[in-house]
Homo-oligomer: A and B are copies of this chain.
Amino acid sequence: MRQLKLSRAFTLIESGPVVLVTTHDGKKNNMMTISWTMVLDFTPLFAITTGEWNYSFAALRKKRECVIAIPTVDMLDEVVGIGTCSGAATDKFARFKLTPVQGKVVRAPLIKECLANIECKVIEIVRKHNIVVLEGVAAYMDSLRKEKRTVHAVGDGTFIVDGRKLDRRKMMATKIPEGI
Interface residues, chain A, with chain B CB atoms under 8 Å away? 8, 10-11, 14-17, 35-41, 45, 47-49, 73, 76-77, 80-81, 83-84, 124, 126, 128-131, 133, 149, 151-176, 180
Contact = CB atoms under 8 A, between A and B. Distances in A.
Counting from the closest, the 7 A-B pairs by CB-CB distance are A16-B16, A163-B163, A157-B169, A38-B38, A15-B152, A14-B155, A157-B172
A17 to B, nearest CB: 7
Contacts of A14: 16, 35-36, 152-155
Given A37-B38, A38-B38, A129-B47, A168 B11 contact: no
Nearest to A128: B124
A76 to B, nearest CB: 6
Given A133-B129, A161-B163, A163-B164, A15 B169 contact: no
Contacts of A128: 124
A88 B165 CA distance: 31
A39 B49 contact: yes
A70 to B, nearest CB: 12
Contact of A16 (B17, B124, B168, B171): B17
Given A14-B36, A38-B37, A126-B126, A166 B151 contact: yes
A41 B128 CA distance: 12
Given A81-B171, A155-B10, A176-B156, A40 B131 contact: yes
